[in-house]
Amino acid sequence: MLWIDCPWCGPRPETEYRYGGEAHIARPDPAATDDAGWADYLFMRTNTKGVHAERWMHRDGCRRWFNVLRHTVSNEVLAVYPMGTPRPETPRLPGDGAEGA
Amino acid sequence: MAEQPVPQSPLASLADALAATGADGVTLAACPARARLNLRLDPEDGGALEAAGAALGGTLPLAPNTATAAADGWSILWLGPNEWLVCGPADDGAARAGALEAALAGTHHAVTDVGAMYTTLTLAGANARTVLMKGCRLDLHPRAFAPGACAQTALARAQVILHQIGAEPVYELTVRNSFAHYLASWLLDAMAEYRPA
For residue A63, pLDDT over 80 is answered with yes
- Grade residue A95 by pLDDT with cuts at 50, 70 and 90: low
Return the CATH number at B42. Answer: 3.30.70.1520
Kindly state whether residue B19 falls inside one of the protein's structural domains.
yes
B151 and B84 in a common domain = no
Tell me the average pLDDT across B113-122: 94
Cβ-Cβ contacts under 8 Å for B96 (sequence gap 6 or more)? B35, B37, B55, B56, B74, B86, B88
> What is the dihedral sign for C-alpha B52, B56, B58, B63?
negative
The answer to whether the CB atoms of A60 and B64 lie below 8 A apart is: no
Residue B7 domain flag: no
Do B130 and B95 belong to one domain? no
Pair (B53, B123) in one structural domain:
no
From B65, B86, B115, give the residue that closes a domain.
Answer: B115
Are residue B85 and residue B149 in the same domain, yes or no?
A: no
- Model confidence band, residue B91 (pLDDT cutoffs 50, 70, 90): confident
Residue of A nearest to B65 (CA): A9
Spell out the domains of chain A, with CATH numbers in brackets.
Answer: 3-26+33-81 (3.30.2270.10)
Per-residue pLDDT, A96:
55
pLDDT tens per residue, range B131-172 = 999 999 999 999 999 999 999 999 999 999 999 999 989 999
Whether B28 and B121 share a structural domain: yes
Residues 39-58 of A with CB under 8 A from B: none
Question: What stretch of H or E contains B179?
Answer: helix B177-191
Contact of A60 with chain B, judged by CB distance below 8 Å, is answered with yes
Across the interface, whether the CB atoms of B153 and A61 are under 8 A apart is answered: yes
B151, B161: one domain = yes
| Cα B170 to Cα B156: distance, rounded to the nearest angstrom | 19
Residue B121 and residue B187 share a domain: yes
For residue B181, the enclosing domain spans 12-32+117-191
Are residues B177 and B145 part of one domain?
A: yes
Residues B110 and B38 in one domain: yes
Q: Categorize the per-residue pLDDT at A100 as very low, low, confident or very high, splitting at 50, 70 and 90.
A: very low
Nearest to A10 among B65, B80, B154 (CB): B65
Answer whether residue B102 is part of any domain: yes
Instruction: Specify if B4 maps to a domain.
Output: no
Query: CB distance B154–A64 less than 8 Å?
Result: no
pLDDT tens-digit readout, A15-24:
999 999 999 9
- The answer to the question of residue B196 being in a domain is no
B138 in reach of chain A (CB within 8 A) = yes
Q: How many domains does chain B have?
A: 2
pLDDT at residue A12 in the model: 94
- Of B115, B138, B163, the residue that ends a domain is B115
Question: Is residue B1 one of the residues assigned to a domain?
Answer: no
B104 and B79 in a single domain? The answer is yes
pLDDT band at B130 (very low <50, low <70, confident <90, very high): very high
Give the model's pLDDT for residue B1. 67
Residue A46 CB contacts under 8 Å (≥ 6 apart), including other chains: A22, A52, A99
| Minimal-distance CA residue of chain B relative to A62 | B80
Long-range contacts of B64-72 (CB under 8 A, 24+ apart): B64/A8, B64/A9, B64/A10, B65/A9, B65/A10, B65/B149, B65/B150, B65/B151, B66/B148, B66/B149, B66/B150, B67/B148, B67/B149, B67/B150, B67/B163, B68/B148
- B152 contacts in chain A (CB < 8 Å): 9, 60-62
Partner residue opposite A9 with nearest CB, options B64, B137, B154:
B64
Write down which residue in B52, B80, B115 finishes a domain: B115
Report the distance separating Cα B166 and Cα B139, nearest Å.
17
Determine how β-strand B83-89 pairs with β-strand A65-71. unpaired
Q: Are residues B45 and B76 in the same domain?
A: yes
Q: Decide if B17 is inside a domain.
A: yes
The whole-angstrom separation of Cα B43 and Cα B63 is: 12
Please check whether residues B129 and B90 belong to one and the same domain. Answer: no
A8 closest CB neighbour out of B80, B138, B154: B80
Give the pLDDT score at B8: 82
Domain annotation covers residue B174: yes
